[in-house]
Chain A
């Protein structure tokens, strides 16, 4: 089985798993869910680290570094602001 096909299996199954867990998140927490999910989409950082690490030409390095900066803003900012929000959800 080709790598693409395995990737497709993983993609479909992970989407279904995601659907299951996410549909149980109550409306009260939809904003933190969204900003948390947002931080997770910064996983592109992994890709940016790989290409920058392998960079052999200046353009690849520039694009890779740009990718790292954008993705890190997304990851660090996303998780931190989600935490800031969630610590406000208190029961009195």
Chain B
């Protein structure tokens, strides 16, 4: 076969791979078909890899194979070892590597194209700059997000004087350097200002671009607080896709453009959904430094009387209810109490109590985090209901059991003067009885008091979720 026909076959194989990617994602629309969808997407990836290896003249198989084996081994170990509670940080790390790979490819292309010694065409230069910029921002931003989720970097927003000005300045510098690399006339003009020539500034400018982009990634994520992480992780996910698509433009490879834009779209949709679930704009999440307590006048808690109960009393209320809705929050993940929770639910169901779960979109540290934890604890997925599905049901629910959630069940979201005004909440206060399992009365991430805790119908069940849940298992069994 001549090279032209192999190239066509390779392109057609890429097309098939693109179709498999789309149909694989489509199968993720139902839990029953989702696993096969993921397998299909992985087959699409394998096909694309094999085609690429066969279609391109690989000069150094040793390096290529060694790198694939090394990366593959690390990937396998990470994927097998990770606890489900730590999924958000793993996804953040993978995101970062995806972005980093795109930036590395763009950098390699830059060197191959002469490292700035010869002028690049504007389109080619622009895509190299974009791919490097987005890739490097994704890499450093994701590593900071990982640090925050893992507790290595503080989860609180980190703010300092002139932070926004510094970000803006840095962004401007990156743009100017990028323009200098992408556009010959701009590059020459910059070079003459710096007393150099257009061809000599190539490598220093490229290094400045990489350093600037890495710094920008850090500075953009560091002021964002822990509970806003679902937005950050979604956005970085989108960036890693865009970086891959930009690399596709650099290499003129449609496969990269298609797969990259699919991921870009996925991340963007999730980002929008997460912002909507908090009734905040993306700009507010990114720059609002929410959770520092600046916006909220910190309410004094604990001055109003609450009704607190012990495990025995809570068990009685639950065991003699007709219907129970469990509302899990990040506190459940922190306490790793999902397995004990499932045992309580099993015992209640054995007694004929109807048990379902109401999951808020931003519960946890990434979109859908709670659902994965509950699935891990063997809760059937048809019992996991989202906000719109469960809200009309609270009116006719006997008992709501809230485990480690706060802001997402705060009725003050209905008060136009509240800091969380307009945030869609789970209407748990409409149920007949509410049991709140929580360590203390301390406010949630938004830094405001929760009127729910002081209602007549609310029973506060204080303590560590895991210990209290084990108590509850014993007590429900005896009830």
A residues near B (Cβ < 8 Å) are: 2-4, 7, 10-12, 14-19, 21-57, 59-61, 63-92
Tell me the bound Cα distance from A10 to B248 in angstroms. Answer: 11
Let me know if B1 is at the binding interface, CB within 8 A: no
0/1 interface trace, chain B 423-462, chain A, CB 8 Å (1 if under): 0000000000000000000000000000000000000000
B residues near A (Cβ < 8 Å) are: 18, 21-22, 24-26, 28-32, 34-35, 37-39, 41-42, 45, 48-49, 52-53, 56-60, 63-64, 66-68, 70-72, 74-76, 78-80, 82, 84, 87, 90-91, 94-95, 97-102, 104-105, 107-109, 111-112, 123, 127, 135, 233-234, 237, 240-241, 243-245, 247-267, 269-270, 273, 359, 361, 366-369, 371-372, 375-376, 378, 380-382, 384, 386-387
Partner of A83, one of B39, B59, B256: B39
- Nearest first, the 8 A-B pairs at minimum CB distance are A72-B71, A30-B368, A76-B75, A77-B75, A18-B265, A67-B104, A80-B79, A30-B367
- The answer to whether B262 touches A14, judged by C-beta atoms less than 8 angstroms apart, is yes
- The answer to whether A64 touches B240, judged by C-beta atoms less than 8 angstroms apart, is no
Which A residues are CB-close (under 8 A) to B267? 34, 37
- The answer to whether A69 touches B67, judged by C-beta atoms less than 8 angstroms apart, is yes
Instruction: Give chain A's interface secondary structure class.
Output: helix
- The answer to whether B34 touches A89, judged by C-beta atoms less than 8 angstroms apart, is yes
**A47-B105, A47-B248 as given contacts; A32 in contact with B361, CB under 8 Å:** no
- The answer to whether B79 touches A27, judged by C-beta atoms less than 8 angstroms apart, is no
- The answer to whether B57 touches A54, judged by C-beta atoms less than 8 angstroms apart, is yes
**A7-B248, A35-B91, A61-B60 as given contacts; A80 in contact with B378, CB under 8 Å:** no
Q: List 8 A-B contacts (CB under 8 A).
A: A7-B248, A11-B261, A43-B260, A44-B135, A49-B58, A50-B253, A53-B57, A77-B90
Which A residues are CB-close (under 8 A) to B105? 44, 47-48, 51, 63-64, 67
- The answer to whether A52 touches B263, judged by C-beta atoms less than 8 angstroms apart, is no
Least CB distance from B376 to A in Å reads 5
- The answer to whether A7 touches B265, judged by C-beta atoms less than 8 angstroms apart, is no
Tell me the bound Cα distance from A72 to B163 in angstroms. Answer: 36
- The answer to whether B112 touches A44, judged by C-beta atoms less than 8 angstroms apart, is no
Least CB distance from A76 to B in Å reads 3
**Which of A21, A26, A41 lies at the interface centre, i.e. has the most chain B CB atoms within 10 A of its CB?**
A41
- The answer to whether B108 touches A51, judged by C-beta atoms less than 8 angstroms apart, is yes
